[in-house]
Every structure is written in structure tokens, then in C-alpha cells.
Structure 1
Amino acid sequence: MKLQRFIKKYLNGIIIASGVLVTIGLLSEYIFHQELVAVSTMIIASIIGAFPIMVQAFQSLKNKVISIELLVSIAVIGAFFIQEYHESAIVTFLFLFGAYLERRTIQKTRDSVKNLIAMAPTTALILDDNGEAEEVEIDFVDEGDRLLVKTGAQVPVDGFVLFGEGFIDEASVTGESFPVKKKLGDKVFAGTILTNGTLQIEAEKVGEDTTFGKIIELVEEAQDSKSVMEKFINKFSKYYTPAVIIFALVTYLFTRDIRLAITVLVLGCPGALVIGVPVSNVTGIGNGAKNGVLIKGGEVLDRMNQVDTMVFDKTGTLTEGKMAVTTFSVVGQEDPLGKAYLAAIEKESDHPLAQAIVSYLGETKSFMVEQSRTVEGRGIQGIVDKKEVLIGNERLLKEKEVAISHSEAKKIDAIKSQGNSIVLVAIEGKLQFIIGVSDVIRPEAKEALARLRKMGIKRFVMLTGDHTVTAQAVAKQLGIDEVHAELLPEDKVREVQKLKDTGHVVAFIGDGINDSPSIALADIGIAMGSGTDVAVETSDIVLMRSSFEELVHAYGLTKATIRNMRQNILIALATVAFLFIGLFAGFIYMASGMFVHEASILIVIFNGLRLVKYNQK
């Protein structure tokens, strides 16, 4: 252990010393023609360079692993045996320098996580009962504490605004590039920055439980996890390395050429093969984190790449989860105070339909509601300004003997067919307003689904607990292939299982607690980041901004990452084939072969790093 720590501490110095000695040796031999100096420096360079390689090979053998370092160690000893000191020196230097470049480059791909950790808040301003602020370490903040956030400061916890207004840069959590306005009651996230204004917030989640803390944890775990392809390559290399040693022995037995056999060992190192896939894996996941897409590991990349069917929950996923008035039709002669009567009664209700109508009506004349009664399953009956007001469905008006003409019935059916819920308003026994209210479809959803279809998704399915007519109307607008409505959570699970049983690779996209079983069952579970903690925890991919743009990016990124892995495998195998052909054809030698080998490692690394700039847009 002490030896390994020593090598790790001075490894960069060893590489520099080896490079300097190799350079002196080459200059002495080919420029100054000082053979003794050349041989001496090459021997010293070989010993210095081989030392850390042999230690690593020995440690691997102790763990019963035949490593790449063992191949190089045997080759260096063989080169010494046949007195090819310049070959052994160059081989060890190139191997160490290549490993150094690998480490540096891979480290850069992990910078997104380091930057996230560095951005984590460390202190907070706690307000006492007198409104005085005291700065404390973040570890001393508890749920329910009242905190002060000033302009330019980080939000220290997840919580909601108690007082004040301001604009917050949420790029570190959602990837959103523009500051978002926050006011009373709005949620705020740890790690975001208040660019303008002053806020008082109440702590809801602290420490590792915050959204920011979970992002760091998820990305760290994901980048350390291995894809199916990476696991295969690691398993393959365990058998490949011994095979190269056997091939080198066979080469010597048939040719009696020790130099050729040693060169086989050097050129057979599967460096690019071993490093290419992990670089793609880590870089792809890092790109996702940067763009608001949390991918929970390499295996998720593999499965997402194979998805051919996407199943969506409707409310809060395909729609915004907010009811809004889409149609407001006046029937006959309008009562000038009719809207004010309607607003007065609806303001007393917390039903989503009522809130949507109040929001649509805006400021109206205020009236005291003299009497109101909820008629279960039908609506509300109230008295305002001594006038009877009925607000509800057709059943309510029919029971109260309010006439609905043939033309009015046709208008109601037309509004229904567009996916709206109907609210009818009658004043003093006469139908006054026909209101269509619906959950607003996400404006970007239709285009995003079309792009996903072009990228390879063959089938879109909607599973919802909503009414069939409403669900069909939404599906028609978005071009969804199959709709199952009026489902309970267990019914959704059954439908997902049916799709899997028929051979489809299924991704389920949802945001609520009732979606969690389906998210967990699907081959890939995708949660909207604005959804519940349960949905986010059970999912494989989290879309932090809850946008379809992120869904398209996630699918495209997984395909690009898997494609990149395959390219790297092809480059690695092609390089090994070229080196062996060149070796036996006589135009590749040990040092030149090692140079090509290390160059191939850099090529697969830089190819993997192209994913840093991947953007589906």
C-alpha cells in the first residue's frame, strides 16, 4: 500500500523523467551519435517507466486479474532480454503518458458533478421571532425554519415563499436559462440564485433531501454505474488478455522470433477497447445532467435506446394539469350582472373548475352570496342579489326544469367533443352561459411527439383516469395511437404489462403518486421533475423542467451515446486488427505500434467527448 501511495504521489514526475530520458536517448543516438549515452539513458528510462506498470500488474495478479499492465511488463522484460532498450523505454513512456491523458480527459467529463457540488449552499440566514437574521451553517437549518434570501445569494433549502418577490436563476436545478419570477406561495429550490429582489422563505426540505442534493447524488451514482456494453467489454477483456499471451507464445513456438512474440504482447493491449465505452457512458450522463435530464445509470442508457413504445399519463404530463376556460358562450339576452353572480358563488368553491372560471372572469362587481348548496354530482345552487343561480351539469338543469333548446344542446355536444368539461349557468330559471373548461395541452407536446416518432418511437399510448370523450379529444390533437380512459392506477399497471408481454420495450411518462406503479413496472420509467417525490424516486429518468423538449433530448441523447459506444468499439477492434496485420506484414514495429495503440486511445476519448456538445435542437 505504501508503495502504491508513493507511485501515485510521484507518478507525474516519473512520466516526465521517463519522457526526458527517452528524448535524450533519441537525440544521443540519431543526432550526436553517442551510442553509450543513448543506451544508458534508455535503460534508466525503461526501469523508471516499467516500475509503476509492474507494480500495477502485480496488484492485479494478487486479485486474480490478468491486466493490460501484465502484457506490457512481460513485453518490457522481453525487450531487455533481447537488448532492445530503446523499444522498452519508448513503450513504457507511451503507455504511462497515454494513461495520464486518459485520466485527465475522463476527469474533465466529471466536472459537471464537481461544479454541482461546489455550487451547493453552505450557509443560510435564519430569521428569529423578532425578524433578526443570523447566518448559520447549512447543517443547522431545520424544516419549518424561516429564512432570508438577499439579492445575489443562493437559496439554501427547498421551500416556499412567505414574503417578497424576486427573480431566481434556476439553471442549476432545471436547466432553465432565464430567471423565473417568484412570489408568495411559489416553490424555490436549494442551489438556485436570487438575481433580483428579497425573499423570506420557509424551509420544506434541507440538506441531501433537497432537489439539488438529490441531483448530485443521482448523477454521481449514474456516472459510476456501468452500461450493459461496458460490463460486456470488461468481461471480454478478462478472456482477451490471456488469449493475447497464448497467441504470443504460439507465435514464438512457430517462428522462434522472440522479438515478434514480445511485440505481439505490446500491440495486443486492448486499451482503446476498455476505455472507449466508459468515456461515452460518463459523458452522455454528464450531458443529460447539464440539460436538465437525470439518467440513473448506464443500464438506463441501454434500455432507453431500445424503447419503441411510449406510454403517457394525461393530466400533468400531456397536459399542464391546470384547468382553464376554453369556451364561454352567452345564451339569449345576457343579464348584465350575470358574470358577477357567477363569480360570487364560484369564489366560495375550491373545485378546479370553479377556480378556472373565477380566473377567467377576473375583476367583477362584488356580491354577497345569500345562500348556496352543493348538489352532489350535479353542481351548486345559490342565491345572489335575491336571484336563484344554478351552476353545474345538464342533470342539474334538467332536475330544476331549466329548458335547453335543440341548438343549445348541439352547441354543448360540440364543446364536449373538443375534450372540454361542461359548466352550465342558469339565472332565474333561464340558461345564461355555456362554459367549456379543459386541462390545457402542453403547447410543445404535439411537435415533440412528431420528432420522437421520426427518431424511432413506433407507438404512443395514453392511459388516463379521465373521461373517454375528453381523452380521445386530447389524443386526436396530439396524434396518439391508442387511448385507454377511465382507468384506476392498477388498470394502468395492467395495460403496461400487456404491452410488455406483446414484445414492446415500454417507457412510461408520468408525474403523480398514482403513476408510480406504472413507472416502476415499465422498462423505462420517466418522471416529470415537477411531480411527486415517489414518482421521481421510482423512475429511471427525471425531466427536471417537466418539458417535452427534455424528453426528446433524453431519447436522442441515449441513442447518440449508444452509437458513440459502438463507434469506439469499432475503432478499438480496427486498430488491433491493423496493428497485427502491419506486424506480420513487416511495416509495424514495437515502438511505432505502441504509438498507434496510444493514438487510438486518444481517438476514442475525443470521440466520446463529442457527446459533451450534443444537443437535440
Structure 2
Amino acid sequence: MLAIALTGLSIGTALWFTGFGTNADLAWTLGTTPVLAGLLWQIIITLRRGDVGLDVVAALSMSAALAFGEPLAGNVVALMYSGGQLLETFAAGRARQEMTALLGRVARTAMRYDGTRLHEIDITAISPGDRLLIRHGEVLPVDGHVAAEQAELDMSALTGESIPVHLADGAEALSGSTLIGAPFDLVASRPAAESTYAGIVRLVEAAQSSKAPMARMADRYAMGFLLLTVILAGAAWAFSGDHLRALAVLVVATPCPLILAVPVAIISGMSRTARIGVLVKNGGMLEALADVRTAVLDKTGTLTGGQAEVTEIRPMPGITQDDVLRRAASLDQASGHVVAAALLQAAAARKLTLSPPTNVVETAGEGLHGQIDDRTTAVGSRSYVIAQLTGGSFDPLTTDLPVDAMTVAIAVDGRPFGLIVLQDRIRPDARQSLDALRAAGLTRIILASGDRDDIAQAVGTDLGVDFSVGGLHPEDKVAILRREKANNAKVMMVGDGINDAPALALADVGVAMGARGAAASSEAAGIVLLVDALAPLAKAVTIAKRTRRIALESVVVGLGLSLAAMIAAALGYLPPVQGALLQEVIDVAVILNALRALR
């Protein structure tokens, strides 16, 4: 359409300068009519959907220009309209580039081992336990575990962090990462449809199809602006008797910054947050994020790593730390408990050689006992292991234990052998992230945990939150949110577990920690942190505030300039052709300003 309008304008102008005025009018008319016809067809389609937009003004101005014998003005409007549409499409594409880049990284096939042979298969055929070969430069198709000495991955698409990540044998590797080191084998842990990156892709597709409340508000105001345009054009004609003034008013109002600036700014802001690892599901959630004043944060997996780690080993006299850990980890090979996994991970880090356990009996949630190197060994809670003792005491090892620590007791042949201290450590960036949230405008931060109240209080004191409470069930977290919202505060809930899903759904802004978090929490939340860290959230709040400010600036300034130009046209100071050119300058300025949200 732009090419047609430009060709008609160029030929008509050349004919006019060479003295063929009548033929020039015909060229300008031919340069306008196809654009007008396409626009009318587009209006009919949108009317069938029940939508009425400012495209009607463009159609009115082109039709009026042809009817009033002003084909040059009509051709200029056609050129400006089609050029504006092209510019808007370009701007929207530029705004979506970060999210589009995420979609473009989806792997389609994978190399799977079938015995000793490799076959290329579609990723939909991958099952948990399949062994895949990941080649240099390939994107990991599914989540899995490294089955090699190490793997060097670029995880910038997930985290926004450009520094390569080195993963050791057995470490979890996320789909969407790119292999930048030597080829390695990956053991799939879940199907492609349930992988981290597949979840991200679904969220991105939903985000791209959404429409922000501010954009819907713009549509409503656009109807008012359309009515104002028609009334002003009619009044200008009625009072002056000059139909060209009415035409000039219509031309100047084509199109309106209101419907250009808001969607471009909102999509730009969503793309900008995606670049730092924060996926906002829709434009409405980005707007709500800009208004948040209170944050309610879960502890486990949000302010802490969410996984118990061995922080200290306390052996009995004459026994080494490695002896304690090796014996406990050897027995725990027979257990699927999360604490057993932590002990095995610590033993692997120390490169300890484990012995096979025999005659193992496990009491769920308490501990287990069996034979290790022909010696009876018991591992579990202190109360469980103390019940297995025939003499001795753990008391010498229990002094000065951290408040938030979990202890695993080990006994051998009925005698105390040692204690292992585990803690779910506070994230290194937690305090800095909370300070950044306050700097971004939050005035109240609450720690709400299902863990013991004394542990929640200790963590809350360490981090300097406004209020801490522990021992909560899912319904208790919901009650806290209701209470905070009753104080007319916009509340953000941050969590990562299934038990957080009800609170995430109730909050004005629900934030799920990490794409690996429970599926229920990711579905209930309006925002998903693609990286397992809090730091990007404060940046996202700042981006949301700036995006809304830029959108409003564009609308207010653009509408002000358009209204001023319309009044000037109604008073006869702005002819139709010059009005069309001025309006295009306003539109370009508005779109360029909206794209500032990308920076």
C-alpha cells in the first residue's frame, strides 16, 4: 500500500510540474483509491468483531478529499496512513524482539542413543531416562542431568547472564541453554513438553497475544477522540462555510497517538523484562507491577536456596569428618529422601568412595538403619538414632547449633558416631535484592513461611523485613494477603511451591520463582522469574514504572499536539496537505518515544 501511494504521489507531482494538472489529479486519485479500498475492507472486518477504531477517521479523510476534489491531500493522507501502519508494525516487531528471540531458540530434533548407535529423533519422542548427545552449538532440547566430566553452557537466554556456566557430572542442565564447550551426554529428566524451555515458550506466546488494560483504555478513549474529530470537523465547515477546513481537521486526526503509543510502549517494557530473565505474562500484569507497594515473600526457595546443604560435620573424638559423611551417605544410597540427596551430593563433592548398603530398613520421615562394611549403621533424626543407641550420648556435639539448622545423627554399632548439620542457606543476593525492591518503591516487605516460626523470625531479622511469621499453611498465606489488600495496598506475592499457588493467584501481582518451580505456581503467577534469583525482580519493578510513564507521556504529548493541530486546521491556519505531513511527524515522534521503554 505504501508503494502504491508513493508511486501515485510521485507520478502526479511530476505531471503537475510539467503542466499536466488534470492527469496529475488522476494519478493522485489512483494512488489513493487502492489504499482507501484496503482500509475500508479492514474496517468491515473489525466491525464484524465489534471493534471500532480510528481507522475510520483515515477513511473519512481520504473519502472527503476525493469527494471535495482535493486528490493531492487524499494521496498524502494515503501515504501517511500506509507509512504509519508500516512504522507501527516495525516498532511492534522491534519491541517484541527479545520475546521473539526466546521463541526462535526452540530445538526441534535431538540425537538419542539406541544402544551404541545414535539416531536423530523429534524432541516429542524423548522420554525421561533417554541418553542424548548434545553437540557443540546446539540448544538443549529437554531438561536433564550431565553425564560427563563437565559441560560448558551459555544460559543467557534463560538468565540474561552472559558468563558461561560450568556444570559437573550429575548436575542439572536446563533446556534452552546452548552448549559452547565440548560435546557431552545428557540424561533426560522429563519430556520435552514439560521442560523448562517449553514452559517459557508457552508463557511467551500467551504474553504476545495479551492486551494491557491501558491499551484497552486507549481503545475506549479512541472512540471519544473519533467523536470529537467528527464534531470539530462539522463545526469548522458549518461556521466557516469552507469544506476544506473540515477536511483539514480529518486529515490532522489521522491516525491518533493514543492507539500507537500505548501498545508499543507496553510490549517494549515486556520485552525489556524478558531480556533480564523476568517473563511478564501480559501487559496488565506489567501495569500492576508498577503500582506494587507491599511484597509478601515465601522463605524456602525464595529467600533461601530451597535445598538443604551440608554446612558442618561434627564427628565424635577419634573419627574424621570424611568417615562420618561417607558412612551416612553410603547408607542413604537406599533412601529417596531429600536429605539423603543432600548427603550424597556432599559426598560426591568430596569424592568419597561409598560402600553398598545391605539389610536396610527405613522408617519414613525419621531415618534408616542397615549394614555398611559389616557394621550396623543408623542415620536419621536425633530422636530416631538415639533410640538405636546402646550407650553414649550426642550431647557433646550439640552445643551452639544454628537456630535454622537441621541435624542428621549417625550411630555405628549402637554408639554415637557424629552429627551432620544441614541448612537451607539464605540466598547471597537476598538482602541486596530486598534493598533494591525498597529503592524501587516498595514500602512494606513481609516474610511468610511454612517453616518453623523461630526459623522464619531468624531469617526475617537477618534480612531486615518489616514482619516475619512462620508455621503457615496455604490458607494462612491467603489470609495475610487479604489483610494487606484490605489496607488498599497493591500486594505482590513471591513463591515457588505448589502450596504458594493460592496466594499467587490472589495477589495483585503473583511472582513464581524460577522456571523450574512447581507447575501450579507458574500457572497461578502473572510473572515468572526465568532465573533462580531475586535480583531481577527489583529491576522489573523499575522497568514497569518507567514503561507506564513513557506510555502516558506519549499519549498526553501526542494528543495535545494533535488537538492543537486540529484547532489550527478548524480555524483555517493549517491546509489539508500540510496537516497530513504534520500529523505524520507527530506519529513518528510518539512511536520513537514509546520505543524508549526498550532501553
The residue correspondences of 1:253-272 to structure 2 (distance < 5 A) are 253-272=238-257
Q: Give 2:7's match in structure 1, choosing from 14, 17, 27.
A: 17
Query: 1:286 corresponds to which residue?
Result: 271
Q: Distance in 1 between matches of 2:103 and 2:378?
A: 58
TM-fit CA distance, 1:111: 3.2
Provide the rounded CA distance (Å) in 1 between the counterparts of 2:533 and 2:581.
47
Displacement after TM superposition at 1:533 (Å): 1.9
Name the amino acid aligned to 1:564. Answer: I
- Say if 1:100 and 1:352 are closer, same or farther in 2 by CA, change over 3 A: closer
Q: Deviations over 1:172-201 (max 9, x none)?
A: 233332222234433333343222233223
Residues 1:371 and 1:340: Cα distance change in structure 2 (over 3 Å): farther
Residues 317-360 of structure 1 show CA distances to partners (whole Å, capped at 9, x for unaligned) of 10012333556678xxx723253553355322456667667838
Q: C-alpha deviations, 1:290-332, integer Å up to 9, x for none?
A: 22211111111122222111111111110012333556678xx
What is the letter of the counterpart of residue 427 of structure 2? R
Counting only pairs closer than 5 Å after superposition, residues 202-601 of structure 1 correspond to structure 2 as 202-326=187-311, 335-337=317-319, 339=321, 342-347=324-329, 348-349=331-332, 359=346, 362=350, 393=382, 402=393, 412=400, 415-417=401-403, 419-421=404-406, 437-528=422-513, 529-584=515-570, 587-601=573-587
Q: Which amino acid aligns with 1:439?
A: D
- Please tell me the residue identity of whatever aligns with 2:280: I
Report the alpha carbon displacement of residue 431 of structure 1 after superposing the two structures with TM. Answer: 9.4
**Alpha-carbon distance between aligned partners in 2 of 1:210 and 1:490, rounded to the nearest angstrom:** 29
Residues 9 and 72 of structure 2 are in contact (CA less than 8 Å); yes or no, is this contact kept in structure 1? no
CA deviations 1:27-65 (Å, max 9, x no partner) are x54xxxx4x335532441233224322442354256375
Q: Deviations for 1:487-508, whole angstroms, at most 9, x for unmatched residues?
A: 1223222222322233222211
**Pair 1:204–1:424, CA change in 2 (3 A):** closer
8 A contact 1:390–1:427 mirrored in 2: no
Change (3 A) 1:249 1:611: same
Whose RCO is larger (CA < 8 A, sep 6+)? 2
- Over 3 Å counting, the alpha-carbon distance change for 1:466 and 1:214 in structure 2 is closer
Is the CA contact 2:394–2:416 (under 8 Å) kept in the aligned structure 1?
A: yes
Indicate which of 105, 119, 137 corresponds to 2:105.
119
C-alpha spacing 1:497/1:594, structure 2 compared with 1 (3 Å): same
Give distance in 2, aligned partners of 1:532 and 1:291: 21
Which amino acid letter does the alignment assign opposite residue 35 of structure 2? P
Alpha-carbon shift at residue 484 of structure 1 (Å): 1.5
SS at match of 1:321: coil
CA offsets per residue over residues 352-379 of structure 1, 9 Å max, x none? 6676678389478999999999999988
* 2:130 aligned partner: 145
Q: In the alignment, is the contact (CA less than 8 A) between 2:367 and 2:381 conserved in 1?
A: yes
CA distance in 2 between counterparts of 1:194 and 1:139 reads 21
The 1:587–1:201 alpha-carbon spacing in structure 2 relative to 1, beyond 3 Å, is: same
SS of the residue 1:320 aligns to: coil
Shift of 1:543: 0.6
Q: Cα distance, 1:556 vs. partner?
A: 1.8
Measure the CA separation in 2 of the matches of 1:354 and 1:143.
22
1:367/1:109 CA distance change after superposition, 3 Å: closer
- Partner Cα separation in structure 2 for residue 223 and residue 151 of structure 1: 31
Task: Please identify, of 517-526 and 376-385, the stretch whose mean Cα deviation from structure 2 is larger.
Answer: 376-385
Judged with a 3 Å threshold, the aligned counterparts in structure 2 of structure 1 residues 89 and 387 are, in CA distance, closer, same or farther, namely closer
Q: Is residue 121 of structure 2 the alignment partner of residue 136 of structure 1?
A: yes
Paired position in structure 2 for 1:41 = 24
For 1:53 and 1:483, locate their aligned partners in 2 and report how far apart those are by CA, in whole Å. Answer: 63
Residues paired across the two proteins, number: 586
Task: Give the unaligned 5+ runs of structure 1.
Answer: 1-10
Q: Secondary structure at the match of 1:462?
A: strand
Q: 1:477 to 1:490 in 2, by over 3 A?
A: same
Q: Is the 8 A contact 1:308 1:456 kept in 2?
A: yes
2:80 to 90, 94, 110: 94
Distance 2:462 2:415 in 1: 34
Distance 1:525 1:284 in 2: 18
Q: TM-score, length-normalised on structure 1? A: 0.83
Q: Give the deviation of 1:128 after TM superposition.
A: 1.1
What's the offset of the Cα at 1:452? 0.7
Contact 2:378–2:385 at 8 Å: present in 1 too? no
Spell out, residue by residue over 1:528-579, the C-alpha distance to the aligned partner (whole angstroms, 9 max, x if none).
1231222222211111112112212222222222112111111221112221
Give the secondary-structure state (helix, strand or coil) at the position aligned to 2:107. Answer: coil
What is the rounded CA distance, in whole Å, between the counterparts of 1:202 and 1:430 in structure 2?
41
- Checking the alignment, whether the CA contact within 8 Å between 1:219 and 1:285 is kept in structure 2 is no
Instruction: Give the TM-score, by structure 2 length.
Output: 0.85
Residue identity over aligned pairs, in percent, reads 26
Letter matched to residue 93 of structure 1: L
Aligned-residue offset at 1:427? 10
Bigger shift: residues 84-93 or 460-469: 84-93
Cα contact 2:81–2:255 (8 A) shared by 1: no
Q: Distance in 2 between matches of 1:135 and 1:562?
A: 47
Q: What is the distance in 2 between the residues matched to 1:205 and 1:386?
A: 38
